Chain A
Amino acid sequence: MGMDEQNGQPVISVTDLVKEYRGGVRAVDGVTFEVRRGENFGFLGPNGAGKTTTILTLITLLRPTSGRAVVCGHDVVAEPDRVRLRIGYVSQDIAVDDTLTGEENLYLQGRLYHLDRETIARRSREVLEMVDLTARARDLVMTYSGGMRKRLDIAGGLIHRPEVLFLDEPTLGLDVQTRRRIWDYIRLLREREGITVFMTTHYMEEADQLCDRIAIMDHGRIVAIGTPSELKAGIGGDLLTVDITTGRRGTRDGGVQPDGDGGLQDLLLTVPGIKQASRASDGRWVLVADRGEEAAPAVLEAVGRHGLRVNYLAMKKPTLDDVFLHYTGRQLREDEGQEDFSRRRTGLRRARM
């Protein structure tokens, strides 16, 4: 994540942002955060959390009800034109024109950003190569698959070398393989172009894999913010599940068997790295450790030294799902959005005939 001096400046700075739609829906309910230069920042939240609304405010398409947002040094309300010049936006819908070719889509996009013909030609080649669409550039987008369209859309958002790229649900409704390829492009983007990326997603794995820092959003509010490991650390550490049999056996090197549950708990807590120990209803012990992979052998060793036997031991790194559950009391449902999305698309296709 090596952020040097010039990196690390805030490129996006949002204070108490509120957006209430006509009709009274408070889609964004007072969020405050900063995104540093060169960072990949992610908004993670379920459907309706207010992710898209936040993005639309930051890219000057929605006027905030209250609060302030500064992007690339310019206030989004006071100087929307200056903001728009310096950002790229790839929407949640796949917004490419399917009656044009891939190349023409990029050409138009370049012209809308006031680039000249030569610059567009050069940049088109670069971004098309990056998303592996060079061979299909001259074909009508109508003949592209969904994943190819999305890649073209992302390429379009890059044509003018934006300082910040806003990606709203970049892999929504795509299959696992295509999703992984898009992740690769997003990583490549930062390596090659040094762009700051602001993205939203409701796939926790995606946020985990791609983002330097994540804001978890629910009902228009940010409930937690930090690096993926910070967030996971926030719920205590790694989780160890251990099943221990208190057999009547002699102890090695003259150790004494612990006395009952209380004694066993005390013993477990003396193991280096173990922060919490509690007995679950099924009789197993649930331990929270800073670093599970180091604590696990230590637990085995300590338990063995006291003449006890471990029947079962499992270690689990907490996922962002556990984090989300911890802060909101609900699980992030992974399948919901996809279903929504395909329904929306087929609906449109039909209507368009």
Chain B
Amino acid sequence: MNSTARSTATLLSDTWWVAWREIKRFQRQKVRIVMILVQPFIWLALMGNMFERMAHVPGFPADSYLDYMAPGVVTMVTLFGGIFGGMSIVWDRRLGYLNKLLAAPIARSAVVSGKMLAVGLQTAMQVAIIFVIAMLMGVSFRTGPLGALMVILLAVLLSLVFAGISLSFSAVITSHEALMAVVNFMTMPLMFTSNAMMPLSFMPSWLQTIAKLNPLSYAINPMRSLFLTGWNVQELLTGVVVLALAGLALGLVATCLFRRSLA
């Protein structure tokens, strides 16, 4: 029992120090920080304006397209943050840093969990920023500060799912270019076959079927309720549990693939 507790504590601290590096790196990359501030603004302003008239179509579930779009932007930013955060390990491999991490007496799973933690923290920060920007732009939000926390929680869990996916691919595919191709092949369809940008009822029926199965809906639907309609506890709970389990499972898959790639 005692030794289990100790190794758990070690795993947690190893995870933190792997994440610490990512956080430091992040702080140093001014351009990245600027982009994080500018990007949601552009998305909201541009898309909100472009599709404004869609909100006047009968049956549209929100008063303004901007209101509808805000959770979509959160999802999109989360998706890309998660995917790219996981891919940083390919660079570490190329530059030899990965071997340095693996030669240290840290748990091998800490390399994966550390990257995931960094992604999660970054997502929390990004989504908080999107919130502020969205509020400044007059987006309405029904569920107050607690609801905002729930949106952040959902986003963080979703980012872990995608970090897990991209880490798993990174363990198997060692070329940056090939990995980019695979990731693009995956993310774009995921985004456009979801209801992030457009209500289900506006889609052709075959797309509706796909959109319902799309894992993104476990994040988007509860977020949208929190934004537009109010508390839907069951939907929220389902989303949190499914995403948390998926994130955990993918983290484990990534760790296993990673261990195997070393032998």
| CA distance in complex: A93, B99 (Å) | 10
Instruction: Judge if A59 is at the interface, Cβ distance under 8 Å.
Output: yes
Interface window among A97-105, A191-199, A210-218, A310-318: A97-105
**B14: which A residues are within 8 A, CB to CB?**
112
| Closest Cβ neighbor of A111 among chain B residues | B17
Instruction: Judge if A94 is at the interface, Cβ distance under 8 Å.
Output: yes
**A61: which B residues are within 8 A, CB to CB?**
99, 102-103, 262
How many interface residues does B have (CB within 8 Å)? 26
| CA distance in complex: A94, B96 (Å) | 7
**B101: which A residues are within 8 A, CB to CB?**
112
Most buried by B among A59, A97, A351: A97
Instruction: Judge if B95 is at the interface, Cβ distance under 8 Å.
Output: yes
Instruction: Judge if A328 is at the interface, Cβ distance under 8 Å.
Output: no
B29 touches A99 (CB 8 A): yes
Contact pick for B97, options A62, A63, A97, A114, CB 8 Å:
A97
B103 touches A84 (CB 8 A): yes
Contact pick for B21, options A93, A95, A100, CB 8 Å:
A100
A89 touches B17 (CB 8 A): no
**A93: which B residues are within 8 A, CB to CB?**
95-96, 99
A351 touches B105 (CB 8 A): no
The smallest C-beta distance from B174 to any residue of chain A, in angstroms, reads 12
With contact pairs A92-B96, A111-B17, A351-B176 given, residues A97 and B105 touching in the complex (Cβ less than 8 Å): no
Within 8 A of B (CB), among A45-94: 56, 59-63, 81, 84-85, 87, 89, 91-94
| CA distance in complex: A108, B103 (Å) | 14
With contact pairs A85-B105, A99-B28, A114-B105 given, residues A108 and B20 touching in the complex (Cβ less than 8 Å): yes
Contact pick for B106, options A56, A59, A100, A112, CB 8 Å:
A112
With contact pairs A100-B21, A108-B21 given, residues A140 and B28 touching in the complex (Cβ less than 8 Å): yes
Within 8 A of A (CB), among B149-179: 176
B17 touches A348 (CB 8 A): no
| Closest Cβ neighbor of B110 among chain A residues | A112
| Closest Cβ neighbor of A81 among chain B residues | B105
**A63: which B residues are within 8 A, CB to CB?**
262-263
Instruction: Judge if B94 is at the interface, Cβ distance under 8 Å.
Output: yes
B99 touches A112 (CB 8 A): no
Instruction: Judge if A327 is at the interface, Cβ distance under 8 Å.
Output: no
A62 touches B262 (CB 8 A): yes
Contact pick for B24, options A62, A81, A94, A104, CB 8 Å:
A104
Binary CB contact string for chain B from 103 to 146 against chain A (1 if under 8 A, 0 otherwise): 11110000000000000000000000000000000000000000
| CA distance in complex: A120, B146 (Å) | 41
Instruction: Judge if A113 is at the interface, Cβ distance under 8 Å.
Output: yes
The smallest C-beta distance from B128 to any residue of chain A, in angstroms, reads 24
B105 touches A111 (CB 8 A): no
Contact pick for A99, options B13, B17, B25, B105, CB 8 Å:
B25
The smallest C-beta distance from A285 to any residue of chain B, in angstroms, reads 52
Within 8 A of A (CB), among B13-48: 13-14, 17, 20-21, 24-25, 28-29
Binary CB contact string for chain B from 73 to 102 against chain A (1 if under 8 A, 0 otherwise): 000000000000000000100111101111
B105 touches A84 (CB 8 A): yes
B263 touches A62 (CB 8 A): yes
| CA distance in complex: A94, B97 (Å) | 8
**B91: which A residues are within 8 A, CB to CB?**
352
**A111: which B residues are within 8 A, CB to CB?**
13, 17, 20
Instruction: Judge if B209 is at the interface, Cβ distance under 8 Å.
Output: no
B103 touches A113 (CB 8 A): no
| Closest Cβ neighbor of B10 among chain A residues | A114
| CA distance in complex: A156, B20 (Å) | 17
The smallest C-beta distance from A80 to any residue of chain B, in angstroms, reads 9
**A351: which B residues are within 8 A, CB to CB?**
176
The smallest C-beta distance from B256 to any residue of chain A, in angstroms, reads 15
**A97: which B residues are within 8 A, CB to CB?**
21, 25, 97
Most buried by B among A63, A93, A104, A111: A111
**B97: which A residues are within 8 A, CB to CB?**
95, 97
Binary CB contact string for chain A from 106 to 124 against chain B (1 if under 8 A, 0 otherwise): 0011011110000000000
| Closest Cβ neighbor of B263 among chain A residues | A63
| CA distance in complex: A73, B220 (Å) | 55
| CA distance in complex: A62, B263 (Å) | 5
| CA distance in complex: A352, B1 (Å) | 46
The smallest C-beta distance from A160 to any residue of chain B, in angstroms, reads 9
**A91: which B residues are within 8 A, CB to CB?**
96, 99-100
Most buried by A among B24, B100, B102, B106: B100
**B21: which A residues are within 8 A, CB to CB?**
97, 100, 108
| Closest Cβ neighbor of B262 among chain A residues | A61
**B94: which A residues are within 8 A, CB to CB?**
348
| CA distance in complex: A220, B176 (Å) | 30
A112 touches B17 (CB 8 A): yes
With contact pairs A61-B102, A84-B104, A112-B104 given, residues A95 and B96 touching in the complex (Cβ less than 8 Å): yes
Given contacts A63-B263, A91-B96, A100-B21, 12 further A-B contacts (CB under 8 A): A56-B99, A91-B100, A92-B96, A93-B99, A94-B96, A95-B96, A95-B100, A104-B24, A108-B20, A113-B105, A114-B10, A114-B13
Q: Which residues of A contact B (CB under 8 A)?
A: 56, 59-63, 81, 84-85, 87, 89, 91-95, 97, 99-100, 104, 108-109, 111-114, 140, 156, 348, 351-352
Q: Which 3 A-B pairs have the closest CB atoms?
A: A93-B96, A95-B96, A112-B104
User: Can you list 8 contacts pairing A with B, beta carbon distance less than 8 Å?
Assistant: A91-B100, A92-B96, A97-B97, A99-B28, A99-B29, A100-B25, A108-B17, A114-B10
